[in-house]
Structure 1
Amino acid sequence: MNAPTPDPDCIFCKIVAGEIPATIVHASDDSVAFRDVAPQAPTHVLVIPRSHYENAAALADHEPATLADLFTTARAVAEAEGLAGYRAVFNTGAAAQQTVFHAHLHVIGGRELTWPPG
């Protein structure tokens, strides 16, 4: 299967391509992790696939190994940040507050996280 074409209007595709700066904290062959510009906790990192899929469900359908890599990267980020625990969150669809339609995993920690969230 061919990888999808980057979306020229997608901010995350532009970060992957190096066209927009980001504070990269980890990278693999399949993913890039960088600090969120509007953090919701002391540690708030976004882990994105290098390939463009609209959301986590589409990524799972087309590149399940890349989806697994996002979680492996999330663990590596949490360990590097010294987090005792962390939350890994996908917002899928506008109704779930997804605002950038490029699959991305939020890694959130560094403070007490309440349940249920928002």
Structure 2
Amino acid sequence: MRRTDPTCVFCRIVAGEAPATIVREWPDALAIVPLNPVVPGHLLVLPRVHVTDFVDDPAVSGLTAQRAAELARDMGLSAANEMTSKGAAATQTVWHLHRHLVPRAAGDGLPLPWTPQQEAARAAQGGLR
């Protein structure tokens, strides 16, 4: 039995009912270009079943991570971030598991919470003590 949520945009994309640029399909997942990629080549890998986040169904989460890793390998990425979020406080905005695959390059300026760029920004705002 396929789990879907008719109110979920990713479920509608999986069902072919909402537009998306699909770059890879597997029996259990698909990879799409996000609406606002943070760098060229940024992709989302999402399961075909509705899973709210990575703890909702660890098996589906693991398979989705495997697909993201396969895609990164097949793309020949020498540097990338692969990540997901759980909950609004962690920046989740779509309540369907999705893994970001973000190609990286030295000096691309894309900060993460633990990068020197973020530390410098916090220090400039008086956030580091």
TM-score by length of 1: 0.83
1:51-90 Cα deviation digits (max 9, x unpaired) = 1011111021xxx1x3222122212322343311211111
Q: Which structure 1 residue ranges, 5 or more long, are not aligned?
A: none
CA separation of 1:3 and 1:20: change in aligned 2, threshold 3 A: closer
> What secondary structure, in the 3-state scheme, does the structure 2 residue paired with 1:47 have?
strand
Aligned partner of 1:34 in structure 2 is 32
Q: 2:72 aligns with which of 69, 78, 95?
A: 78
Aligned partner of 1:54 in structure 2 is 52
8 A contact 2:61–2:97 mirrored in 1: no
Identify the structure with bigger relative contact order (alpha carbons < 8 Å, sequence gap 6+): 1
- Tell me how far apart the structure 2 counterparts of residues 78 and 25 of structure 1 sit (CA, whole Å): 12
8 A contact 1:26–1:73 mirrored in 2: no
- Tell me how far apart the structure 2 counterparts of residues 24 and 77 of structure 1 sit (CA, whole Å): 13
Q: Following TM superposition, by how much is the alpha carbon of 1:43 offset from its aligned partner in structure 2, in angstroms?
A: 1.8
Q: Following TM superposition, by how much is the alpha carbon of 1:104 offset from its aligned partner in structure 2, in angstroms?
A: 0.6
Amino acid at match of 2:24: H
Amino acid at match of 1:16: V
Higher strand share: 1
Q: 2:105 aligns with which of 91, 95, 111?
A: 111
Q: Which structure 2 residue ranges, 5 or more long, are not aligned?
A: 119-129
TM-score by length of 2: 0.77
RMSD over aligned Cα, in angstroms? 1.8
- Tell me how far apart the structure 1 counterparts of residues 96 and 62 of structure 2 sit (CA, whole Å): 16
8 A contact 1:42–1:111 mirrored in 2: no
8 A contact 2:28–2:47 mirrored in 1: yes
